[in-house]
Amino acid sequence: MYLAVEILLCNPETPTDIAMKKSFFFAFFSIVFVTAAILAESDEFIRDREEMVQRQIAERGIRDERVLRALRKIRRELFVPVNLKNMAYEDSALPIGFGQTISQPYVVAYMTEACDITVSDRVLEIGTGSGYQAAVIAEIASEVYSIELIKPLADSARSRLRSLGYQNVRIKHGDGYKGWKEYAPFDAIIVTAAPAEIPEELIGQLKTGGRMVIPVGSFFQELYRVTKLSEGIKKEALLPVVFVPMRRPK
């Protein structure tokens, strides 16, 4: 702005000077206008997001500050198809292509809270989808590993999370039933597609004391928290839910 005023006050000398100054002003005010337009657009979503966290998340009993902070920060509109941006803060799951969905914000918050993730945790997610749940975990934990069966979804989530600056998320195209042995054991596992039974392989990749939150069932599904004990597991039913099925690769 200071530079713009300087140029405005000095006397034009030649027609070239005047032309240069005109283009300078054109460029300068275009940048100001575009920046203002971008800020105005994201402002609209900031309000929607704040309202979503308040009404759908906090008022329904989610208390974990780490989870609330993550949901306040992450721009969910960047994780849904462009034509659904205006629905990004509604209280629902939304289609993300290939017959899959981004989960309802409340369910994302609930599962993350139930996993009790802390800053030093290494977390595995099964079912990357849009990458939204992975971003929520990445705001809280130190490392996130996420597996997605559908390659184009894995690829687009990877580039989305990279462009948003997440350096602690690694995404693999593969079969979540196998887990990710190279990086096991995990402090927590969040499964966002529903298998008919709890996969033994995933329990095997939990640390002792580790938590897995997982929807289980074919038609009626129940969300479970499975805690790995020094001997055996503790299994708690938390909530009836609806998730897409966890599939076997073809």
CA distance 158 to 173: 10
**Window of 61-69, 94-102, 109-117, 209-217 that interacts with ligand SAH by CB under 6 A:** 94-102
Judged by CB under 6 A, which of 112, 133, 205, 221 binds ligand SAH? 133
Name the residue with tokens 């948003």.
164
Q: For residue 140, state whether it binds ligand SAH (rule: CB under 6 A).
A: no
Q: For residue 129, state whether it binds ligand SAH (rule: CB under 6 A).
A: yes
CA distances from 196 to 88, 218, 221, 235, 248 (A): 30, 5, 9, 15, 11
CA distances from 203 to 107, 172, 191, 196, 218 (A): 22, 19, 12, 15, 20
Question: Hey, which residues are catalytic here?
Answer: 103
Four-CA torsion 218, 176, 79, 120, nearest 10 degrees: 120
CA distances from 182 to 23, 216, 227 (A): 56, 25, 21
Q: Pick out residues in 189-228 that bind ligand SAH (CB under 6 A).
A: 192-193
Judged by CB under 6 A, which of 150, 188, 216, 241 binds ligand SAH? 150
**Window of 43-51, 68-76, 170-178, 211-219 that interacts with ligand SAH by CB under 6 A:** 170-178
**Closest distance of CB 171 from ligand SAH, Å:** 11
Pairing status of strand 221-228 against strand 233-241: antiparallel
For ligand SAH, how many residues bind (rule: CB under 6 A)? 23
Pick between residue 105 and residue 210 the one whose CB is nearest to ligand SAH. Answer: 105
Residues near ligand SAH (CB under 6 A) are 100-103, 126-127, 129-130, 132-133, 147-150, 153, 175-177, 192-193, 244, 246-247
